[in-house]
Amino acid sequence: MSASWWDLFGAALSGGFVVKIMDFIYMEWSRRRHAEESSKQLVNRHLDPVLKAADELVGKLSFLAQNDFAEFKKSHNPKYDFSYNTELSNFCYLFAQFWARVQILRIEGIYVNISDSKDGKKLKSFLDTLESKSVQIVERPNQRAIGELLIKQASQNLSTLTYYEFVSSYKSDSNIQGWFKSLLDLLTLVDELKQKQIILKYGVILHALIDTLDSEHLVTKNREGWANKLTKRSCRDLKFRIFQVYLPFVENIEKYVSK
């Protein structure tokens, strides 16, 4: 007499089939939990420095936006001499400091998938958007090289150069000056609407990053947007492509795009 399906199922149970399935499920759950915890620890360690660097840069961009980049118009320097133009050197430093903090996060998280935690997934979405072709200030390899130029070893940790250290290094090293040329070239065209909009749109996404990942503004300032300085085209691009497609979790997008 042939065995019924119930007999076979009972044999599977007695043979430990279910136990093996349960072991597999537990191992997979443990793996995911460990990945999530690793991501949380990485984000918790680096989020504040990234936010503070972003906050300094957003503060500068907000000031420049409201003043229509007047500081750069009145003292154009084709040789990019930081000795006579602190506005220029400070602008470059704030961008480089933010990119350096992002690079430190990447270096120390090389074996961790940052997207395995909720905040890590949002942070990665912002960073990917900022490095996308339609948003980036300079080419991605150039941006990462600039960030790496500001990284230094501080005790057992990686940190960033101070403003004084950065300016001193820039003045004495033509190689460093070469890497910053693309960022400085953008500023020489700041009178042109297209270049101005590139910088302001980048700043809007940074602003949203801060508001999203530090919603209570524990380490950053709560600032007004500068939609009045954006063109209709820039506002449409931010609203219908950047925020709705790439950053759909961002709340209150009208703060950034409504004039």
| DSSP one-letter code for 230 | S
Range of the domain at 250: 5-257
Whole-structure pTM value = 0.83
Helix (H, G, I), strand (E, B) or coil at 157: strand
The tens place of each residue's pLDDT in the chain, 259 residues long, gives 455 666 655 555 555 655 566 655 556 545 555 455 656 776 778 789 999 999 999 999 999 999 888 877 655 554 556 766 788 889 899 999 999 999 999 888 876 777 778 888 999 999 999 999 999 999 999 999 999 999 998 778 899 999 999 999 998 999 999 999 999 888 766 667 788 899 999 999 999 999 999 999 999 999 999 999 999 999 999 999 999 999 999 999 999 998 7
DSSP code per residue over 55-87: HHHHHHHHHHHHTTTHHHHTT--TT--GGG-HH
Rounded Cα distance between 201 and 207, Å, is: 10
Q: How many domains does the chain have?
A: 1
Distance CA(208)–CA(215), nearest Å, equals 10
CA distance 196 to 225: 16
